[in-house]
Structure 1
Amino acid sequence: MADDQILKLIGIRIRDLRKERGLSQEQLGEKADFHFSYIGGIERAEKNISILNLAKIAAALEVHIGELFVYIKSHHNVHSEKEAELEEILQILLEQDIKGLRKAKTILKELYE
């Protein structure tokens, strides 16, 4: 994958997550401690963002940094809707400790086996 394609995908993903949360570029910039023009530059793939700055943006968006590398449009068809639901479930599970994960696994097995 070309470098500029990676920047475009990350920029699109950040924009999509920002819009899903109803944030403007200025609001996201304030939350992440960046100027809104920097956020715009990232979203337009004009900035080569560092890992540390990606972590700040992920925290401001209240997602795990790995979510910035999941290039899924969460609308348009049933498959994407299913993926969006799975993403939400995964986010809940990622916030759990091992005891919580085991409890979730037990519940799922009871429901679906």
Structure 2
Amino acid sequence: MKHLKFICLAILATTAMGCSNALEIKTTNIEGTLEPLLSHKKWDHLLLFVAKSNGCTQSDSFQLQIDSVESKQVSVSVIRTQDDNCRRAPMFEEFQLTLPQELQNVELVVSNPQAKPLH
């Protein structure tokens, strides 16, 4: 009888832990402009991407919008939240955004449009 109680408690504890690992990601809506990207890559806890800059763009000029959540795949968009008003000729630069904990172990699909090459 003691073994049966122990087994039941072990199953209950495992079930409770499994429920706490459920995907609890909510979609977001960030105000700004959907930024065309030359390339992007998820690396560890970062999203690295290449976008156009006139000289004043920093990584904090962007935010990550969560568009949709399906099973273990999350669709995101990089949104420019701060304009780049510098006058330097535009060029592509690499930027990074730190991924929230809940996005670090899921497959990310970045839905930004492809940037056109500079002339």
What is the TM-score of this pair, normalised by structure 2?
0.21
Q: Which has the higher helix share?
A: 1
Q: Which has the higher strand share?
A: 2
Give the structure, 1 or 2, with the largest relative contact order (CA under 8 Å, sep 6 or more): 2
What is the TM-score of this pair, normalised by structure 1?
0.21
